[in-house]
Amino acid sequence: MKPERTVIAVAALMLLCSTAMAQRLPDGHARMLPGRVLARVTIHDTARDSERSHSPARQRHAELWSPFVEHLKAKRPQISERLRREVGLTLDEFRELGIGATTIASVRVPDRPVAIVAMIDFRSHFLMHRIGMRLTQALMVSGFTYRQSNYGRVCVYEFRREEKFRELAICVQGSTAYLTTDPGVLREMLCHCNTRSAVSHPRGYAEITATRQEQTHDPQLTWYVDPVGLLHEMILDNEPTESDFRSFLLNLIPQTGLDSLVAIGGTVEFRGQDYAAVSRTQVVLKEPREGLLGLVSLKTDNLEPPAWITSNATSCQSFFWDLQAFYDGANKLLSLIEGNNALDLYVKRLGTVKNGFNLKTDLLDQLTGRIRVVTADQDGNSHSVVAIQVRNPAAVDSVLQQADNGKPLFGTIPVSVSIVDGRTVYTQPVGETKVCLTLIDDMLVVAGSEQAIAASSGTAKTPLKESPGYQRVAAHLPMNCLMQSYDAANDSLRIPYMFLRSQVKPEDAFGIDLSLLPSFDDLRRTLGPSAAYAIENESGILVSQFSLYGQHTDDVAPDLAADATADRR
């Protein structure tokens, strides 16, 4: 095995073990981080005292996962031997090592480049020493030289490769191992960790950690990012000091309104009392929100799906766009390039009447900003539509009816008209594709086919908001919010799951054949619906995303299980 792969394998296995066996995060990790924290992720307490976490696998789950579990049992000796040969520890020894809280952060210490810092808690000093020796051997084979130095009672190993000027420093203090890409940063951590009387938290950190107050358990993962700080450091590191382009990029940050984005971060919790998984993301903002942030400004409103969206829908996203804020932000950004009020002039040009259709007055001025994106299944196929609320449905309907005379709504090819579930659908060919439009209540529905409109709407079907899946998540949704999302089929998991199952080769996964994982369609039958919403708070915007337990009574949280049983009666 190549030395570089040994280093990667050690890091990956430590991270994997910390996910499976981590202890509660000590505050000391936060106190040790020096300088300005640009990004940080911590994996900590994953243990759950609930009966659900420690109960035996239920019959249907056991049958679903049986082929993969048997494969893992058969591969265990091979995996353990390969770990011993390439990393220095067997599988059982890794468990004995007891990887605990793990923090990885990007920090900037004054007068030094940005450094990556890793802190890993463990139980066995002996096994940690063996990993350190194996890592040292791999680095030396890769061309690194090293020296040993002492800072107080702490022994530090510093590695350096002149060819590409790469540095690495490793040390162990107490029950924590430290690894950084800059020995100077490690020295800073060791010299000042005992004298620092107060923690200097990064921008927006207090607001982000406040999201933990809503959780019934300590989260398994916390994370934090200073996006503007990272962007600033990227510009400083990649552009010459006296570069005019560097000054232009740095000045562009406040001009585009990005400096109002203070921080982003949050928590992730698995297998809680009410949720199979829940994540809370706090976006810390300061006023005024202009430029790019104005483009995504939303309004608070009741976003419950309307009755015309049927239970065929597997997902539905709703939000209320602040069009005035969007217009002002777009005008400011475009004016940076094309001069003052550039967007005003562009919109006036859009107002030119063509084929009896004025794009500005007949469409743009009619939009309220309420938008819904719906995906529905019909006959095994997935279809999507976008529904946009209009102020005056009668006026928009009269514009669409002009197509009855064989006129195109836009372009040169005439529109064809059809009836779908009692609704008039106008199909406008555009090159090799087509755009289908219909008016449902006060929503202008846009789709790529008549079948998509039929799949997501229909008077003879149960409304989505009355379906059992949506009713379950609705109990956890606020009445009014900035954004609401519902996913009955957990399709957001499909791409990463299918990648693991079909693209990761056994030789890259310690001989484990991930193609033996259950098919995604079988897996998602055991999952409950998921949803997300965003609300505005004092710090900015809080986004909560959660998945509920499966429909089987034993898999559902206690309060939800009682409701499900009552419904069946």
Please say whether the beta carbons of 384 and 374 come within 8 A. Answer: yes
How far apart CA 367 and CA 444 sit, in angstroms, is 9
CB atoms within 10 A of CB 28: 15
pLDDT at residue number 320: 92
pLDDT at residue number 296: 80
Bridge partners (DSSP) listed for residue 176: 121, 173
DSSP for 291-327 reads THHHHT-B--B--PPPTTBBTTEEEEEEEEB-HHHHH
pLDDT at residue number 543: 94
pLDDT at residue number 301: 93
Can you say whether residue 37 is alpha, beta or left, with left for phi > 0 and alpha for psi between -120 and 50 degrees?
beta
Q: How far is CA 126 from CA 69, 98, 129, 130, in A?
A: 31, 12, 5, 7
pTM for the predicted model, two decimal places:
0.79
DSSP for 202-261 reads -TTHHHHHGGGGG-SS--SEEEEE-HHHHHHHHHHHHS-TT-HHHHHHHHHHHHTTGGGE
Mean pLDDT by groups of 10 residues along the chain of 569 residues: 47 41 44 78 61 46 82 87 78 78 86 86 79 78 80 78 74 84 82 51 66 63 89 79 76 84 89 81 86 82 92 91 79 75 70 62 83 86 90 88 72 82 87 89 92 79 89 92 90 82 83 87 82 92 89 40 35
